[in-house]
Amino acid sequence: MTELSPLNISVITVSDTRTEETDKSGAVLVQRAQAAGHHLLSKTIIKDDVYQLRAEVSAQIADPDTHAVLLTGGTGFTLRDNTYKAIKPLLDVDIDGFGELFRQLSFLDIGSSTIQSRAFAGMANRTIIFCMPGSPGACETAWDKIIAEQLNSAHKPCNFTDKLI
C-alpha cells in the first residue's frame, strides 16, 4: 500500500454570523483533514461577500504551498449565498462529479432538500477547491464519502494528489 502524501489544506467558512466558537462545520473539516494526516495551512471565517471570498480564495490559489481549499457555507439560494458566484469564475476546470455525487449521497440523509445545495468543486493553478454547504452533517458527508479518498494518494484507481503536488 502506498503511503499517504500529506497535502497542505486551507479551510474557509463562509458566514455572516459564525465565530470560531460557533463554527462547527469548519471544525469538522479541520479535524477530519488533520486526522487524515494532512497539514492545516489556515482556517478562516469570511463574510458571505463576493469580493472578500474571491480575494481570499485567489490568494490561496496563488500560493504554491496550498494544495486544497475547503469552503463550507454560502452554497444555498438566499441573497447572501455567494460562494458559487464568487468562486466559480476562478476555476480553470470544473469537477462536475463532486456536486453530482454529493447531492446523490445527501439525498439518502435529507431527501429532495438536497436540490437546494449548490455544492461544487474545481481546480485552479494546481489547487483543488471543494465548496460544500454550511452544515456539519454536509461537511461530514463530503469529507467522509468523497474528499478523504480523493485527497489520499493511496486511493485507487485514481485520486487528485498527482495533480496537486
Distance, CA of 38 to CA of 21 (rounded, Å): 23
Domains recognised in the chain with CATH numbers: 8-163 (3.40.980.10)
Distance, CA of 70 to CA of 102 (rounded, Å): 14
In this prediction, residues 115-130 reach a mean pLDDT of: 96
Tell if the pTM clears 0.75, that is, is over it: yes
pLDDT at 73: 97
Distance, CA of 72 to CA of 109 (rounded, Å): 18
pLDDT at 78: 86
Dump pLDDT digits (tens) for 62-98.
999 999 999 999 998 888 899 999 999 999 999 999 9
